Structure 1
Amino acid sequence: MLDVINQWIAQANDFLYGYILIALLVISGVYFTIRTKFVQIRLFPEAIRVLTEKKKEKTGVSSFQALMISTASRVGTGNIAGVATALSMGGAGAIFWMWVMAIVGSASAFVESTLAQVYKERDGEVFRGGPAYYIQYALGQRWLGIIFSILLIACFAFGFNALQSFNVSSAFAYYVEDYANSSVPMIIGLILAAATALVIFGGVQRIGIITSGIVPVMALLYIVLGLYITCTNLGRLPDIFGEIFAGAFDFKSIAGGFAGSCVMYGIKRGLFSNEAGMGSAPNAGATADVSHPAKQGMVQMLSVFIDTILICTTTAMMLLNFGTGNKELTGMPYVQQAVNAEVGAWGIHFITVSIFLFAFSSLIGNYCYAESNLKFIKDSKGLLFVFRIIVVGVVFVGAQANFDTVWNLADVLMGLMAIVNIVSIILLSKISMKVMNDYTRQKKEGKDPQFHPDKLGIKNTQCWK
């Protein structure tokens, strides 16, 4: 029965990405890139400057903490196991298409997070918002906002969190003989579930504090390892880039089997990793306490850059130094063996620790998104408590899940979310352009931009009166 269900999900997955989502992602990314006059390049230095600004209130979430919450969700097993899957299934050319999606998608990331800031709500001492909120307040379609929230909760609280937990568990297969039939997956699940419970019952501020500590340190150490492996194999770089570009532009091969091509795997795994345009990161972007919505839009662009251009490329370089010849070797075992070949057994231990911490930060970042959307549907303390218990249970079960089923289900849910969000931000592009132009105008006047929606004719804002 499970095989039949997995086959149905896989077919839906192929149809969704092969006929709808890729075209929508590319068209919207190019549209926003042109409409914003290449905001991802033009305002990149300003985005770095804004990142250092302090929050306005002591109790809020800073721009940096909001970035780390979104980066925590982005920088997870997708950067390691996801890249390994893209390479083993789609070939080296998949990396090129991941880069393209990151650069083009950064404009979509700017737009969606700017809109999330415009239409955020106050939730006690912090803010919450995201696509569900701008769909309700800007488009006036609460029913569609509820559908988006349900998709996001199913995708992040259940699909992605189960996947993160599974990938952590699989990283320990190296250490245990007959791992699948041992009690170790259950023990790993218990540890992850307990650690997740300790954090998520502490609220968004605790999530921000934890992720702003874990993510930068682990990302830096991981990049240093990747740079070391790359620098010790500098002679291989021309061949590696040759593989990437040759695979990316092998149009005959792509046309012959698009569903399994480097383009398909590059975009799918790229979207899973950086989430640009998907509608997830705006939920974190909305929590930031800033003086102008465009500031957090720019900061969220950086998260896409950190995720794909820095960390995914780090993984790709390590794996391509090792080679892509063994199609049976995928996911975490592929990464572990690639690192082991370069630095020895300690590299495997480092990757295991990295995946554990990256995945843990993703688990709590994903929960942050889901909580915001649950409150959008119904703000109830009792419901929230039950939901937290269920999330912890999913983390536990996920450590013992089926690899193919979880990947395919997460892909389908992610795709449906992205479709709803992309259509919404295209319809709201006029508002996001007003906000961006207002910011750049004030900067040219030498001001620290302040947002006044009434002056721009923007209505139904909840926190900018």
Structure 2
Amino acid sequence: MENFLSHVENINNAVNGFVWGLPMLILLVGTGILMTCLTRFFQISHFKHWIKNTIGGIFKDSHVTAHTGKEDTQISQFQSLCTALAATIGTGNIAGVAAAIASGGPGAIFWMWIVAFFGMMTNFSENVLGIYYRRRNEKNEWCGGAMYYLHDGLGAKNGCKHIGAGLAALFSIFCVIASFGIGNMGQINSIAVNMNSAFGVPSIVTGIFLMFLAGLVIVGGLKRIASVTEKLVPFMAVIYMICAIIVCLVHINQVGPVFTSIIKGAFGMRAVGGGIVGSGVAMAVQWGMKRGVFSNEAGLGSSVMVHSSSNVREPVVQGMWGIFEVFADTIVVCTITAFAVLSSGLVDLETGVVISDQVSTALVAEAFSTVFGQFGYAFIAIAILLFAFSTTLGWSQYGSKAFEYLFGRKNIKFYQILFVLFIVVGATMDLTLAWDLSDTFNGMMAIPNLIGVISLSGTVMKITHNYVQRNLLHQDVKPMLSALDDIQELHEQELLEKALKKKSSEKTA
């Protein structure tokens, strides 16, 4: 058995080295650069517009679809964002940032920003395609994601029918496997370890408690998951941000040196850990990119499955929520975490060496303890509990949608029950190999997804240009809302009715 596990580990290390290696990271960032250029730097050129139509318009419903008279299975744009953020704002924002600094020096944070900047448009493109190619299942639920735009988008191109179908199936298989590992057992294990070290709670107790809690939410389906995450995610993110900002304010005199250290470390003006400058830059780039992608998941195609369940009719509107998701996750939360760690005296800002002997989440906890004392450790343990648990809820939905694509809607309950049971396994086992395997499958999701995004990049460009023509330049052109004729006609009718209603109300006024 030991020989078998050793072989599995060696094979996984080789695959993981490629999946999360420099060529793959270049492909991820390269896709973001391509989509940024094709959409004419949409994240900058239309910054005011996407801010206004995302976080600035939470209480508006100007782009939502009409109810169909059947059971309401849609979720709001804000709920879809919160469910997606629940899966992305997690241990990557705490442990991931700490790991990037420890392994790549302060300069890794700069490259994390670069990945996020271009990742905004990768996520935008995924969500645009997710809405454009989505369909309804027999329960009137929206179903979308990489598997659908691979099957129906790439598959519709000449000679690509079997390629599209094969890549769609591969993406779904990788997603289901990753959901049990990085989306379930890995997160639950982080919670159990933290709760045991901070409060002495036995891992089995944590596992059983979370299993029942998750069961109540997950078996209730997307509507229940969304209603929980829309309350949990803003609450946990705001509380965490307030405490992290307080840490930064207490060490405000270090902000200048921290920023200088990040920039110098990014370009090798100073060696990481006193090593060779070139090596220092390579480590900063690789760890910044790797942890940036791990944190916001742009390019993996995961969050599209939830975004596609939104009650939006315009693909570009949901795409803008994708931009905001990456912005909030990496540019805001990861940056504040990084500044809290770097300003707390735990890292030598001259050499980039971590002075503290703590690693991962404990490094962030120590940074918080410089201001809050012993409460800092307890707070990070609770933050990990909330972040990691919400990540598990989000990933349960990703896995459900991938499982549904493979085996049909009727069999989802089997997946959900199995997913909930694995929570106890995650809390009580040593998951080093399981974590490594799921990390590999998580990365493997990106390969078919990025093939889909690149092959359909022209479609994203046309949909985006069409949206800009209609909504920003006010030109009278036919809208591009869905690849399916019946959904396209329905949405066109809704837009027409909305325009007539607006004219009528203006006349009355």
Same fold (TM > 0.5): yes
Q: 2:215 aligns with which of 197, 209, 221?
A: 197
Contact 2:127 2:322 in 1 (8 A): yes
Q: 1:148 aligns with which of 164, 171, 178?
A: 171
Contact 2:133 2:483 in 1 (8 A): no
Number of matched residues? 454
* Distance (Å, rounded) in 2 between the aligned partners of 1:342 and 1:314: 15
* Distance (Å, rounded) in 2 between the aligned partners of 1:360 and 1:19: 30
Residues 85 and 349 (structure 1), Cα distance of their counterparts in 2 relative to 1, 3 Å cut:
same
Q: How does 1:57-456 map to 2 (within 5 A)?
A: 57=66, 59=72, 60-123=74-137, 124-140=139-155, 141-175=164-198, 184-250=202-268, 253=276, 255-256=278-279, 261-322=283-344, 323-324=346-347, 325-326=354-355, 328-381=357-410, 383-402=411-430, 404-446=432-474, 451-452=479-480
Cα offset for 1:414? 2.2
* Distance (Å, rounded) in 1 between the aligned partners of 2:118 and 2:78: 23
* Distance (Å, rounded) in 2 between the aligned partners of 1:204 and 1:447: 37
Report the more deviating stretch, 142-151 or 438-447: 438-447
Structure 1 unaligned regions, length at least 5: 178-182
Instruction: Please name the residue that 1:31 is paired with.
Output: 34
Cα offset for 1:45? 2.2
Q: Which amino acid aligns with 2:392?
A: L
Report the more deviating stretch, 281-290 or 1-10: 1-10
Q: Which amino acid aligns with 2:109?
A: I
Question: Structure 1: which 4+ aligned runs deviate by more than 6 Å?
Answer: 447-450
Partner of 2:75, secondary structure, is coil
Deviations 1:72-117 (A, max 9, x none): 1111111111212222222212211111100111011111100000
Report the more deviating stretch, 25-34 or 99-108: 25-34
Deviations 1:290-330 (A, max 9, x none): 12111000111100001001111121112112323247521
Identity of aligned residues (%): 31
Cα offset for 1:57? 4.1
Structure 2 unaligned regions, length at least 5: 156-163, 348-353, 490-509
Residues 4 and 143 (structure 1), Cα distance of their counterparts in 2 relative to 1, 3 Å cut:
closer
Partner of 1:162, secondary structure, is helix
Q: Which amino acid aligns with 2:455?
A: L
Contact 1:71 1:303 in 2 (8 A): yes
Report the more deviating stretch, 8-17 or 408-417: 8-17
Instruction: Please name the residue that 2:65 is paired with.
Output: 56
* Distance (Å, rounded) in 2 between the aligned partners of 1:462 and 1:227: 49
* Distance (Å, rounded) in 2 between the aligned partners of 1:450 and 1:208: 33
* Distance (Å, rounded) in 2 between the aligned partners of 1:234 and 1:434: 46
TM-score, length-scaled by structure 2:
0.84
Q: Which has the higher contact order (CA 8 A, sep 6+)?
A: 1
Residues 321 and 6 (structure 1), Cα distance of their counterparts in 2 relative to 1, 3 Å cut:
farther
Deviations 1:155-189 (A, max 9, x none): 12333322211211222243357xxxxx7112111
TM-score, length-scaled by structure 1:
0.91
Residues 338 and 122 (structure 1), Cα distance of their counterparts in 2 relative to 1, 3 Å cut:
same
Superposed CA RMSD in Å reads 2.4
* Distance (Å, rounded) in 1 between the aligned partners of 2:464 and 2:13: 40
Q: Which amino acid aligns with 1:152?
A: C
Residues 275 and 461 (structure 1), Cα distance of their counterparts in 2 relative to 1, 3 Å cut:
farther
Deviations 1:132-153 (A, max 9, x none): 0100111112221011001111
Q: Which amino acid aligns with 1:75?
A: I
Partner of 2:136, secondary structure, is strand
Cα offset for 1:459? 4.3
